[in-house]
Structure 1
Amino acid sequence: MPASPQPTELTRVERWERRAEVPLVLLALAFLVAYAWPVLNPRLDPSLTEILRAVSWTVWGAFATDFAIRIALAEQRSRYILRHWYDVLLIAVPFLRPLRILRVLSAARLVNRILTRHLVGRVSVYVGFTALTCIGLGALAVLDAEQGAPDANITTFSDALWWAVVTSATVGYGDFYPVTGTGRLIAVGLMLVGIALLGSITAGVAAWVTQSVEADRRRE
Protein backbone atom coordinates (compact mmCIF):
# COMPACT_ATOMS: atom_id res chain seq x y z
CA MET A 1 0.00 0.00 0.00
CA PRO A 2 1.59 3.30 -1.07
CA ALA A 3 2.49 5.68 1.72
CA SER A 4 0.30 8.75 2.04
CA PRO A 5 2.02 11.98 0.96
CA GLN A 6 3.50 13.97 3.77
CA PRO A 7 2.07 17.47 4.27
CA THR A 8 4.30 20.21 2.96
CA GLU A 9 5.94 22.18 5.72
CA LEU A 10 4.98 25.84 5.74
CA THR A 11 7.65 28.45 5.16
CA ARG A 12 8.25 31.23 7.67
CA VAL A 13 6.38 33.69 5.43
CA GLU A 14 3.38 31.36 5.11
CA ARG A 15 3.22 30.84 8.87
CA TRP A 16 3.24 34.62 9.41
CA GLU A 17 0.55 35.12 6.72
CA ARG A 18 -1.74 32.61 8.41
CA ARG A 19 -1.36 34.35 11.75
CA ALA A 20 -1.90 37.84 10.30
CA GLU A 21 -4.57 37.25 7.68
CA VAL A 22 -7.67 37.74 9.86
CA PRO A 23 -6.42 40.94 11.60
CA LEU A 24 -5.44 42.35 8.19
CA VAL A 25 -8.89 41.64 6.76
CA LEU A 26 -10.47 43.46 9.73
CA LEU A 27 -8.07 46.38 9.24
CA ALA A 28 -8.93 46.55 5.55
CA LEU A 29 -12.63 46.71 6.42
CA ALA A 30 -11.90 49.46 8.96
CA PHE A 31 -10.06 51.33 6.22
CA LEU A 32 -13.05 50.92 3.91
CA VAL A 33 -15.32 52.56 6.49
CA ALA A 34 -12.82 55.36 7.16
CA TYR A 35 -12.44 56.03 3.45
CA ALA A 36 -16.07 55.68 2.36
CA TRP A 37 -17.74 57.72 5.12
CA PRO A 38 -16.33 61.13 4.11
CA VAL A 39 -16.88 60.33 0.41
CA LEU A 40 -20.54 59.49 0.95
CA ASN A 41 -21.05 62.41 3.36
CA PRO A 42 -18.88 65.38 2.34
CA ARG A 43 -20.45 67.54 5.08
CA LEU A 44 -19.06 65.33 7.83
CA ASP A 45 -17.93 67.03 11.04
CA PRO A 46 -14.24 68.06 10.68
CA SER A 47 -13.23 66.42 13.96
CA LEU A 48 -14.71 63.09 12.86
CA THR A 49 -13.02 63.49 9.48
CA GLU A 50 -9.67 63.84 11.25
CA ILE A 51 -10.32 60.68 13.26
CA LEU A 52 -11.16 58.76 10.10
CA ARG A 53 -8.04 60.08 8.42
CA ALA A 54 -5.98 58.85 11.39
CA VAL A 55 -7.60 55.41 11.04
CA SER A 56 -6.68 55.37 7.34
CA TRP A 57 -3.03 56.13 8.03
CA THR A 58 -2.93 53.60 10.87
CA VAL A 59 -4.16 50.88 8.52
CA TRP A 60 -1.61 51.95 5.92
CA GLY A 61 1.12 51.63 8.57
CA ALA A 62 -0.11 48.16 9.53
CA PHE A 63 -0.01 46.94 5.93
CA ALA A 64 3.43 48.46 5.40
CA THR A 65 4.67 46.74 8.58
CA ASP A 66 3.18 43.41 7.48
CA PHE A 67 4.94 43.65 4.11
CA ALA A 68 8.24 44.57 5.79
CA ILE A 69 7.95 41.54 8.09
CA ARG A 70 7.22 39.24 5.13
CA ILE A 71 10.27 40.57 3.31
CA ALA A 72 12.42 39.99 6.40
CA LEU A 73 11.13 36.40 6.70
CA ALA A 74 11.53 35.58 3.00
CA GLU A 75 14.54 33.45 2.02
CA GLN A 76 15.05 35.28 -1.29
CA ARG A 77 14.00 38.84 -0.54
CA SER A 78 14.56 40.45 -3.94
CA ARG A 79 12.63 37.69 -5.66
CA TYR A 80 9.85 37.95 -3.09
CA ILE A 81 9.48 41.69 -3.70
CA LEU A 82 9.32 41.17 -7.47
CA ARG A 83 6.72 38.43 -7.11
CA HIS A 84 4.63 40.67 -4.80
CA TRP A 85 4.88 43.90 -6.80
CA TYR A 86 1.17 44.53 -6.16
CA ASP A 87 1.88 44.84 -2.42
CA VAL A 88 4.50 47.47 -3.21
CA LEU A 89 1.89 49.30 -5.29
CA LEU A 90 -0.74 49.15 -2.54
CA ILE A 91 1.70 50.65 -0.06
CA ALA A 92 3.01 53.29 -2.48
CA VAL A 93 -0.33 54.87 -3.45
CA PRO A 94 -1.61 56.42 -0.18
CA PHE A 95 -0.87 59.94 -1.44
CA LEU A 96 -3.32 59.52 -4.35
CA ARG A 97 -6.55 59.77 -2.41
CA PRO A 98 -9.01 58.05 -4.77
CA LEU A 99 -6.55 55.23 -5.42
CA ARG A 100 -6.09 54.51 -1.72
CA ILE A 101 -9.22 52.37 -1.98
CA LEU A 102 -6.92 49.76 -3.54
CA ARG A 103 -5.89 48.98 0.03
CA VAL A 104 -9.16 47.06 0.45
CA LEU A 105 -8.17 44.75 -2.42
CA SER A 106 -5.71 43.22 0.03
CA ALA A 107 -8.75 41.92 1.88
CA ALA A 108 -9.91 40.19 -1.30
CA ARG A 109 -6.53 38.48 -1.62
CA LEU A 110 -6.60 37.37 2.00
CA VAL A 111 -10.20 36.13 1.75
CA ASN A 112 -9.22 34.16 -1.35
CA ARG A 113 -6.40 32.52 0.63
CA ILE A 114 -8.87 31.53 3.35
CA LEU A 115 -11.41 30.21 0.83
CA THR A 116 -8.69 28.20 -0.89
CA ARG A 117 -8.17 26.19 2.30
CA HIS A 118 -11.76 25.83 3.44
CA LEU A 119 -14.21 25.92 0.50
CA VAL A 120 -15.02 23.61 -2.38
CA GLY A 121 -15.80 25.40 -5.63
CA ARG A 122 -13.72 28.33 -4.48
CA VAL A 123 -13.18 29.71 -8.00
CA SER A 124 -16.83 30.65 -8.54
CA VAL A 125 -17.08 32.06 -5.02
CA TYR A 126 -13.94 34.14 -5.49
CA VAL A 127 -15.01 35.40 -8.92
CA GLY A 128 -18.36 36.54 -7.53
CA PHE A 129 -16.74 38.14 -4.50
CA THR A 130 -14.18 39.91 -6.67
CA ALA A 131 -16.84 41.23 -9.05
CA LEU A 132 -18.97 42.71 -6.26
CA THR A 133 -15.91 44.12 -4.49
CA CYS A 134 -14.51 45.79 -7.61
CA ILE A 135 -17.87 47.32 -8.53
CA GLY A 136 -18.38 48.75 -5.04
CA LEU A 137 -14.82 50.03 -4.70
CA GLY A 138 -14.85 51.43 -8.24
CA ALA A 139 -18.03 53.35 -7.46
CA LEU A 140 -16.54 54.83 -4.29
CA ALA A 141 -13.24 55.72 -5.96
CA VAL A 142 -14.81 57.41 -8.98
CA LEU A 143 -17.22 59.37 -6.77
CA ASP A 144 -14.28 60.56 -4.68
CA ALA A 145 -12.43 61.65 -7.82
CA GLU A 146 -15.37 63.23 -9.62
CA GLN A 147 -17.78 64.82 -7.15
CA GLY A 148 -15.76 68.01 -6.69
CA ALA A 149 -14.62 68.42 -10.30
CA PRO A 150 -16.03 71.10 -12.65
CA ASP A 151 -18.57 69.74 -15.16
CA ALA A 152 -18.72 66.42 -13.29
CA ASN A 153 -21.80 64.31 -14.00
CA ILE A 154 -21.06 61.59 -11.42
CA THR A 155 -22.04 63.38 -8.22
CA THR A 156 -24.02 60.81 -6.19
CA PHE A 157 -23.26 57.27 -5.09
CA SER A 158 -26.21 55.89 -7.05
CA ASP A 159 -24.81 57.47 -10.24
CA ALA A 160 -21.34 56.12 -9.42
CA LEU A 161 -22.68 52.62 -8.72
CA TRP A 162 -24.62 52.53 -12.01
CA TRP A 163 -21.52 53.75 -13.86
CA ALA A 164 -19.35 51.09 -12.19
CA VAL A 165 -21.78 48.30 -13.14
CA VAL A 166 -22.03 49.24 -16.84
CA THR A 167 -18.30 49.94 -17.07
CA SER A 168 -17.25 46.62 -15.51
CA ALA A 169 -19.73 44.87 -17.83
CA THR A 170 -18.02 46.69 -20.75
CA VAL A 171 -21.41 48.06 -21.86
CA GLY A 172 -20.74 51.76 -21.33
CA TYR A 173 -24.05 53.51 -22.08
CA GLY A 174 -22.38 56.91 -21.91
CA ASP A 175 -25.03 58.50 -19.67
CA PHE A 176 -22.38 58.93 -16.97
CA TYR A 177 -18.66 59.27 -17.59
CA PRO A 178 -15.58 60.51 -15.69
CA VAL A 179 -14.08 63.90 -16.55
CA THR A 180 -10.94 63.75 -14.40
CA GLY A 181 -7.72 61.91 -15.17
CA THR A 182 -8.01 59.84 -12.00
CA GLY A 183 -11.61 58.92 -12.83
CA ARG A 184 -10.60 57.76 -16.29
CA LEU A 185 -7.77 55.70 -14.82
CA ILE A 186 -10.30 54.01 -12.53
CA ALA A 187 -12.51 53.37 -15.58
CA VAL A 188 -9.65 51.62 -17.38
CA GLY A 189 -9.03 49.44 -14.33
CA LEU A 190 -12.72 48.50 -14.07
CA MET A 191 -12.92 47.62 -17.76
CA LEU A 192 -9.85 45.38 -17.49
CA VAL A 193 -11.30 43.67 -14.42
CA GLY A 194 -14.64 43.24 -16.19
CA ILE A 195 -13.02 41.64 -19.23
CA ALA A 196 -10.99 39.31 -17.00
CA LEU A 197 -14.05 38.27 -14.99
CA LEU A 198 -16.15 37.68 -18.10
CA GLY A 199 -13.32 35.56 -19.47
CA SER A 200 -13.19 33.54 -16.24
CA ILE A 201 -16.93 32.95 -16.28
CA THR A 202 -16.87 31.95 -19.95
CA ALA A 203 -13.99 29.54 -19.33
CA GLY A 204 -15.84 28.04 -16.36
CA VAL A 205 -19.03 27.50 -18.37
CA ALA A 206 -17.04 25.98 -21.24
CA ALA A 207 -15.26 23.60 -18.85
CA TRP A 208 -18.59 22.57 -17.31
CA VAL A 209 -20.13 21.87 -20.74
CA THR A 210 -17.06 19.86 -21.78
CA GLN A 211 -17.19 17.77 -18.59
CA SER A 212 -20.92 17.17 -19.05
CA VAL A 213 -20.43 15.99 -22.65
CA GLU A 214 -17.59 13.68 -21.60
CA ALA A 215 -19.71 12.25 -18.78
CA ASP A 216 -22.59 11.57 -21.21
CA ARG A 217 -20.22 9.82 -23.61
CA ARG A 218 -18.90 7.57 -20.84
CA ARG A 219 -22.44 6.60 -19.80
CA GLU A 220 -23.31 5.73 -23.40
Structure 2
Amino acid sequence: MSDRPPAPPQQERWDLLMEPPLTVASLVYLGGYTVLVLAQDLSAGWRDLSLAFVFAAWAVFVIDYAVRLRLSRLGPLRFVRRNLLDTVVLLLPLLRPLRVVRTYDRIQRRHHQPRLTLYARVMAYAGLSATLLGFAGALTVYHYEHDAPGATIRTFGDAVWWVCATLSTVGYGDVTPVTPMGRVVAVGVMACGLALLGAVTGSFSSWLIQVFTREDERGDGGRPPGGSPGAS
Protein backbone atom coordinates (compact mmCIF):
# COMPACT_ATOMS: atom_id res chain seq x y z
CA MET A 1 0.00 0.00 0.00
CA SER A 2 1.13 3.55 -0.71
CA ASP A 3 2.11 5.70 2.28
CA ARG A 4 1.03 8.83 0.41
CA PRO A 5 -1.92 10.33 2.32
CA PRO A 6 -4.88 11.72 0.39
CA ALA A 7 -5.13 15.47 0.05
CA PRO A 8 -7.20 17.10 2.82
CA PRO A 9 -10.70 18.24 1.79
CA GLN A 10 -9.72 21.88 2.30
CA GLN A 11 -6.86 21.52 -0.18
CA GLU A 12 -9.10 19.82 -2.75
CA ARG A 13 -11.63 22.64 -2.48
CA TRP A 14 -8.84 25.20 -2.79
CA ASP A 15 -7.48 23.46 -5.90
CA LEU A 16 -10.90 23.55 -7.56
CA LEU A 17 -11.39 27.18 -6.56
CA MET A 18 -7.98 28.29 -7.88
CA GLU A 19 -8.03 26.40 -11.17
CA PRO A 20 -9.59 29.26 -13.22
CA PRO A 21 -7.51 32.05 -11.60
CA LEU A 22 -4.27 30.14 -12.16
CA THR A 23 -5.14 29.56 -15.81
CA VAL A 24 -5.91 33.25 -16.25
CA ALA A 25 -2.69 34.14 -14.41
CA SER A 26 -0.70 31.92 -16.80
CA LEU A 27 -2.18 33.68 -19.83
CA VAL A 28 -1.74 37.12 -18.25
CA TYR A 29 1.90 36.37 -17.48
CA LEU A 30 2.55 35.20 -21.03
CA GLY A 31 0.72 38.20 -22.49
CA GLY A 32 2.51 40.71 -20.27
CA TYR A 33 5.90 39.17 -20.95
CA THR A 34 5.18 39.16 -24.69
CA VAL A 35 4.40 42.89 -24.61
CA LEU A 36 7.55 43.64 -22.61
CA VAL A 37 9.79 41.70 -24.99
CA LEU A 38 8.32 42.54 -28.39
CA ALA A 39 7.07 46.12 -27.90
CA GLN A 40 10.48 47.80 -27.85
CA ASP A 41 9.09 51.32 -28.39
CA LEU A 42 6.53 51.01 -25.58
CA SER A 43 6.09 54.09 -23.44
CA ALA A 44 7.22 54.00 -19.82
CA GLY A 45 3.65 53.97 -18.53
CA TRP A 46 2.56 50.99 -20.64
CA ARG A 47 5.79 49.17 -19.85
CA ASP A 48 5.21 49.65 -16.11
CA LEU A 49 1.64 48.40 -16.53
CA SER A 50 2.80 45.30 -18.37
CA LEU A 51 5.42 44.67 -15.71
CA ALA A 52 2.74 45.03 -13.03
CA PHE A 53 0.62 42.38 -14.77
CA VAL A 54 3.62 40.03 -14.91
CA PHE A 55 4.38 40.41 -11.20
CA ALA A 56 0.70 40.18 -10.28
CA ALA A 57 0.45 36.87 -12.14
CA TRP A 58 3.57 35.65 -10.35
CA ALA A 59 2.03 36.71 -7.02
CA VAL A 60 -1.03 34.54 -7.74
CA PHE A 61 1.25 31.52 -8.14
CA VAL A 62 3.15 32.34 -4.94
CA ILE A 63 -0.06 32.77 -2.91
CA ASP A 64 -1.54 29.55 -4.29
CA TYR A 65 1.64 27.64 -3.52
CA ALA A 66 1.84 29.00 0.04
CA VAL A 67 -1.84 28.24 0.77
CA ARG A 68 -1.59 24.71 -0.58
CA LEU A 69 1.55 24.14 1.47
CA ARG A 70 -0.33 25.16 4.60
CA LEU A 71 -3.46 23.15 3.78
CA SER A 72 -1.50 20.00 2.88
CA ARG A 73 -0.34 19.54 6.50
CA LEU A 74 3.01 18.35 5.15
CA GLY A 75 6.50 19.55 5.84
CA PRO A 76 8.04 21.86 3.22
CA LEU A 77 10.44 19.24 1.80
CA ARG A 78 7.77 16.56 1.52
CA PHE A 79 5.37 19.02 -0.08
CA VAL A 80 8.01 20.00 -2.63
CA ARG A 81 8.60 16.33 -3.51
CA ARG A 82 4.86 15.73 -3.98
CA ASN A 83 4.42 18.91 -6.04
CA LEU A 84 7.66 19.05 -7.99
CA LEU A 85 6.10 20.39 -11.20
CA ASP A 86 4.33 23.22 -9.37
CA THR A 87 7.60 24.08 -7.60
CA VAL A 88 9.50 24.22 -10.89
CA VAL A 89 6.73 26.28 -12.51
CA LEU A 90 6.86 28.72 -9.59
CA LEU A 91 10.62 29.20 -9.91
CA LEU A 92 10.99 29.15 -13.70
CA PRO A 93 8.83 31.69 -15.57
CA LEU A 94 9.47 29.83 -18.84
CA LEU A 95 7.28 26.92 -17.67
CA ARG A 96 4.32 28.84 -16.30
CA PRO A 97 2.24 28.52 -19.48
CA LEU A 98 2.17 24.75 -18.85
CA ARG A 99 -0.59 25.45 -16.33
CA VAL A 100 -2.86 25.74 -19.38
CA VAL A 101 -2.04 22.15 -20.35
CA ARG A 102 -2.83 20.99 -16.83
CA THR A 103 -6.20 22.76 -16.97
CA TYR A 104 -6.97 21.16 -20.33
CA ASP A 105 -6.15 17.75 -18.83
CA ARG A 106 -8.52 18.33 -15.92
CA ILE A 107 -11.33 19.37 -18.26
CA GLN A 108 -10.86 16.15 -20.23
CA ARG A 109 -10.91 14.06 -17.04
CA ARG A 110 -14.25 15.51 -15.93
CA HIS A 111 -15.98 13.48 -18.63
CA HIS A 112 -16.75 9.85 -17.84
CA GLN A 113 -15.46 9.00 -21.31
CA PRO A 114 -12.73 11.35 -22.56
CA ARG A 115 -13.41 12.92 -25.94
CA LEU A 116 -10.03 11.73 -27.23
CA THR A 117 -8.38 8.33 -27.05
CA LEU A 118 -5.29 7.83 -24.90
CA TYR A 119 -2.90 8.14 -27.83
CA ALA A 120 -4.68 11.18 -29.23
CA ARG A 121 -4.59 12.84 -25.79
CA VAL A 122 -0.86 12.24 -25.45
CA MET A 123 -0.22 13.77 -28.87
CA ALA A 124 -2.59 16.68 -28.18
CA TYR A 125 -0.94 17.45 -24.84
CA ALA A 126 2.52 17.15 -26.38
CA GLY A 127 1.53 19.47 -29.22
CA LEU A 128 0.03 22.05 -26.86
CA SER A 129 3.06 21.84 -24.56
CA ALA A 130 5.45 22.23 -27.48
CA THR A 131 3.56 25.27 -28.75
CA LEU A 132 3.50 27.01 -25.36
CA LEU A 133 7.09 26.13 -24.50
CA GLY A 134 8.28 27.07 -27.97
CA PHE A 135 6.64 30.48 -27.84
CA ALA A 136 7.87 31.18 -24.30
CA GLY A 137 11.37 29.93 -25.20
CA ALA A 138 11.51 32.10 -28.31
CA LEU A 139 10.47 35.14 -26.28
CA THR A 140 13.08 34.49 -23.60
CA VAL A 141 15.93 33.84 -26.04
CA TYR A 142 15.03 36.89 -28.11
CA HIS A 143 14.91 39.01 -24.95
CA TYR A 144 18.48 38.11 -23.98
CA GLU A 145 20.00 37.68 -27.44
CA HIS A 146 18.77 40.35 -29.83
CA ASP A 147 21.15 43.10 -28.66
CA ALA A 148 24.02 40.94 -27.36
CA PRO A 149 27.50 41.34 -28.95
CA GLY A 150 28.06 38.74 -31.64
CA ALA A 151 24.47 37.47 -31.48
CA THR A 152 22.95 35.69 -34.48
CA ILE A 153 19.39 35.84 -33.12
CA ARG A 154 18.52 39.43 -34.01
CA THR A 155 14.78 39.25 -34.68
CA PHE A 156 11.87 37.42 -33.11
CA GLY A 157 11.57 35.47 -36.36
CA ASP A 158 15.14 34.23 -35.82
CA ALA A 159 14.16 33.15 -32.31
CA VAL A 160 11.08 31.27 -33.56
CA TRP A 161 13.16 29.53 -36.24
CA TRP A 162 15.77 28.60 -33.65
CA VAL A 163 13.24 27.20 -31.16
CA CYS A 164 11.51 25.15 -33.88
CA ALA A 165 14.83 23.63 -34.95
CA THR A 166 15.77 22.96 -31.33
CA LEU A 167 12.45 21.47 -30.20
CA SER A 168 12.40 19.18 -33.20
CA THR A 169 15.99 18.12 -32.34
CA VAL A 170 17.13 19.09 -35.87
CA GLY A 171 19.51 21.83 -34.76
CA TYR A 172 20.62 23.47 -38.00
CA GLY A 173 23.10 25.70 -36.17
CA ASP A 174 22.59 28.71 -38.42
CA VAL A 175 21.41 30.76 -35.43
CA THR A 176 22.56 29.95 -31.91
CA PRO A 177 22.39 31.69 -28.52
CA VAL A 178 25.60 33.29 -27.29
CA THR A 179 24.60 34.67 -23.88
CA PRO A 180 24.71 32.53 -20.72
CA MET A 181 20.96 32.89 -20.13
CA GLY A 182 20.21 32.09 -23.77
CA ARG A 183 22.23 28.90 -23.51
CA VAL A 184 20.51 27.91 -20.27
CA VAL A 185 17.17 28.31 -22.04
CA ALA A 186 18.55 26.29 -24.95
CA VAL A 187 19.38 23.37 -22.65
CA GLY A 188 15.84 23.43 -21.27
CA VAL A 189 14.31 23.58 -24.75
CA MET A 190 16.50 20.67 -25.90
CA ALA A 191 15.42 18.54 -22.93
CA CYS A 192 11.75 19.37 -23.47
CA GLY A 193 12.07 18.67 -27.18
CA LEU A 194 13.53 15.22 -26.55
CA ALA A 195 10.83 14.40 -24.00
CA LEU A 196 7.95 15.62 -26.17
CA LEU A 197 9.30 13.93 -29.29
CA GLY A 198 9.71 10.68 -27.38
CA ALA A 199 6.15 10.88 -26.04
CA VAL A 200 4.64 11.53 -29.48
CA THR A 201 6.78 8.91 -31.23
CA GLY A 202 6.03 6.29 -28.56
CA SER A 203 2.29 6.98 -28.66
CA PHE A 204 2.19 6.90 -32.45
CA SER A 205 4.14 3.64 -32.54
CA SER A 206 1.85 2.06 -29.94
CA TRP A 207 -1.19 3.17 -31.91
CA LEU A 208 0.20 1.65 -35.13
CA ILE A 209 0.98 -1.63 -33.36
CA GLN A 210 -2.55 -1.72 -31.96
CA VAL A 211 -4.08 -1.05 -35.38
CA PHE A 212 -1.97 -3.73 -37.10
CA THR A 213 -2.74 -6.21 -34.31
CA ARG A 214 -6.50 -5.70 -34.74
CA GLU A 215 -6.15 -6.09 -38.52
CA ASP A 216 -4.18 -9.32 -38.07
CA GLU A 217 -6.80 -10.65 -35.65
CA ARG A 218 -9.59 -9.86 -38.10
CA GLY A 219 -7.60 -11.41 -40.93
CA ASP A 220 -7.06 -14.62 -38.94
CA GLY A 221 -10.74 -14.85 -38.01
CA GLY A 222 -11.74 -16.90 -41.03
CA ARG A 223 -8.67 -19.14 -41.07
CA PRO A 224 -9.26 -22.70 -39.91
CA PRO A 225 -7.01 -23.82 -37.04
CA GLY A 226 -3.90 -25.57 -38.25
CA GLY A 227 -4.39 -24.79 -41.90
CA SER A 228 -4.57 -22.09 -44.53
CA PRO A 229 -7.80 -20.57 -45.85
CA GLY A 230 -9.52 -22.81 -48.34
CA ALA A 231 -7.66 -25.95 -47.24
CA SER A 232 -9.76 -29.09 -47.45
What TM-score do you get using the length of structure 1 for normalisation?
0.85
Contact preservation (8 Å) 1:13, 1:73: yes
Secondary structure class of the residue paired with 1:172: coil
Give the RMSD, CA atoms, in angstroms: 2.1
Which secondary structure state, in structure 1, belongs to the residue aligned with residue 148 of structure 2? coil
> What are the within-5 Å matches in structure 2 for residues 58-207 of structure 1?
58-78=56-76, 79-93=78-92, 100-118=93-111, 119-121=115-117, 122-207=121-206
Q: Deviations over 1:142-182 (max 9, x none)?
A: 10111221111112111100000001111111111000011
Hey, what's the Cα distance between the residues in 2 that align with 1:108 and 1:214?
32
Separation in structure 2 between the aligned mates of residue 86 and residue 26 of structure 1, nearest angstrom: 18
Equivalents in 2 of 1:191, 1:201: separation in Å?
A: 15
Question: C-alpha distance in 2, partners of 1:83/1:148?
Answer: 40
Cα distance in 1 between the residues matched to 2:204 and 2:27: 32
Q: Equivalent residue for 1:55? A: 53
Q: Which has the greater radius of gyration?
A: 2
- 1:52-111: CA deviation from partner (whole Å, max 9, x where unpaired): 111111111111001111111214344222221332333335xxxxxx333323333333
Gaps of 5+ in 1: 1-7, 94-99
Query: What amino acid is the match of 2:116?
Result: V
8 Å CA contact 1:143–1:160 kept in 2: the answer is yes
Paired-residue identity, % = 36
For residues 41 and 179 of structure 1, what CA distance do their matches in structure 2 show?
23
Q: 1:27 aligns with which of 25, 28, 41?
A: 25
Measured in 1, the distance between the counterparts of 2:44 and 2:194 equals: 40
Query: Alignment length, in residue pairs?
Result: 207
Contact 2:27–2:97 (8 Å) recurs in 1: yes
Aligned equivalent of 2:37: 39
More helix per residue: 1
Q: How far 1:15 sits from its partner (Å)?
A: 2.6
